[in-house]
A and B are shown apart, each in its own frame.
Chain A
Amino acid sequence: MVASYAQLLARRYRGKLDGDADDFIGFVVDGALRMQQLINDLLTFSRVGTRGKAFAPTDCTAVVQRVLGNLNVAIAESGATVACGPLPTLQADDVQLGQLLQNLISNAIKFRRDDPPEVRVTARHDDSAWVFSVADNGIGIDPKYAERIFVIFQRLHTKADYPGTGIGLAICKKIVERHGGRIWLESQPGAGSTFHFSLPEREEIAHEQPPQPD
């Protein structure tokens, strides 16, 4: 509502009042859109625990295909290529797995360098877990920020440089931890990033209950 009227104000009065008014209208529109995004992301974050589904056999390749469909505009606009290696079927919440992969792939596209983004999604089996990797050729991250980026609201860039609420990776971490795994980063500035996360294998149990929310 707020964002809509802000945009209506902008549409009707931009250029018709003075320069200050145009600036102020701009701040109102940006602020309203940002608040909306923040509320949505916070709801998603809090619902990871409260609205998680029971784990069921999940075809990860199908999840990635669905995610790429959601991201088709960003992929087209950036000229991104997303390659996907063979992925397992495992016990998981398929909606949350989709959110997790969508956040990671969308970040890989967003934080790109001048070249078109190249993203690779792969998985390998390790002990009793599957370790997924989402690798990109983007701007990279200084290893000293490797823990901090998963903390909610912690960002490395201003909103002017890259849009975002600073909640995406916190959501990823919460989802991975709900599944009993962990998430970590391998990166160097200017040399791309690879996000790894592990998902432990689970016995398929008829009425498995996921871990209780914390």
Chain B
Amino acid sequence: MSSPHSPIRILLVEDNPGDVRLTIEALKDGKMDNPLDAVRDGIEALAYLRQEGIYADTPLPDLILLDLNLPRMDGREVLAAIKEDPRLRQIPVVVLTTSRAEQDIVKSYHLHANCFITKPVDLDQFVEVVRGIDNFWLSIVTLPPGSAR
């Protein structure tokens, strides 16, 4: 994880390149320039977080934005794997999904998601949400102190 003086890193787990770009544009709109890495499915997300293969030298993110509907290994399984792993469970996971289904909300909190956000369809509202995430998790909240790899 980053030291107190380096920018806070975000990992976005999202398979739709259009949604990845929207999130980047929304962060840019709010003048937030945190380093953001995007991975396209759950298996890649866990490889990133476990620093396997090409991710061997990648620092752990400080915040994870997680879509639920992903190919191969879906977001719910990724969430469970993160929160069961003692090395990873302290990283806040914001579930950011198009779903409004009650069972998805319940299941996400049951699997210890830090919070659940339904992506607004409207762009302006989406920018507000992304700004809100950045403001709350990266400015207001105190994140766990950086841990050595």
Give residues in A with beta carbon < 8 Å to B: 23, 27, 30-31, 145, 153-160
**In B1-53, which residues have CB < 8 Å from any A CB?**
15-18, 21, 40-41
Q: List 17 A-B contacts (CB under 8 A).
A: A27-B17, A27-B18, A27-B21, A30-B18, A153-B69, A155-B71, A155-B72, A156-B72, A157-B71, A157-B72, A158-B15, A158-B40, A158-B71, A159-B15, A159-B16, A160-B17, A160-B40
Of all chain B residues, the one with the shortest Cβ separation from A161 is B71
Q: Total number of A-B contacts with CB less than 8 angstroms?
A: 23
Residues of B within 8 A of A156 (CB): 71-72
Interface residues of B (CB under 8 A from A): 15-18, 21, 40-41, 69, 71-72, 74
Q: Taking CB as reference atom, which chain A residue is nearest B17?
A: A160
Known: A157-B71, A159-B16. 6 other contacts (CB 8 A): A27-B17, A27-B21, A31-B18, A155-B71, A157-B72, A158-B71
Residues of A within 8 A of B69 (CB): 153
Q: Which 4 A-B pairs have the closest CB atoms?
A: A27-B18, A155-B71, A158-B15, A158-B40
Question: For A31, what are the chain B residues with a Cβ–Cβ distance below 8 Å?
Answer: 18
Q: How far is the CB of B74 from chain A (nearest CB, A)?
A: 8
Cα distance A145–B42 in the bound complex, in angstroms: 14
Q: What is the chain A residue whose CB lies nearest that of B19?
A: A27
Whole-angstrom CA separation of A30 from B19 in the bound complex: 12
Distance in angstroms from A29 CB to nearest chain B CB is: 10
Give the CA-CA distance A153 to B101 in the complex, in Å. 15
**Residues A23 and B21 in contact in the complex (CB < 8 Å), given A155-B71, A156-B71, A158-B41:** yes
**Docked CA distance A191–B15 (Å):** 26
Q: Which residues of B contact A153 (CB under 8 A)?
A: 69
- A-side contacts of B18, CB under 8 Å: 27, 30-31
B110 to chain A, nearest CB (A): 20
Query: B16 to chain A: which residues have CB within 8 Å?
Result: 159
CB distance from B72 to the nearest CB of A (A): 5
Give B133 Cβ to nearest chain A Cβ, in Å: 21
Chain A residues near B72 (CB, 8 Å)? 145, 155-157
Collect the chain A residues with CB atoms within 8 Å of residue B17's CB: 27, 160
B18, B41, B69, B74 interface centre (most CB from chain A within 10 Å): B18
List A contacts of B21 (CB < 8 A).
23, 27
Residues of B within 8 A of A158 (CB): 15, 40-41, 71
Name the distance in Å between B30's Cβ and chain A's nearest Cβ: 17
Q: Give Cα A30 to B40, complex, Å.
A: 17
CA distance A23 to B21 in the complex (A): 9
Interface centre among A30, A155, A156 (most CB of B within 10 A): A155
B41 / chain A contacts, CB cutoff of 8 Å: 158
- CA A145 – CA B74 in complex, angstroms? 12
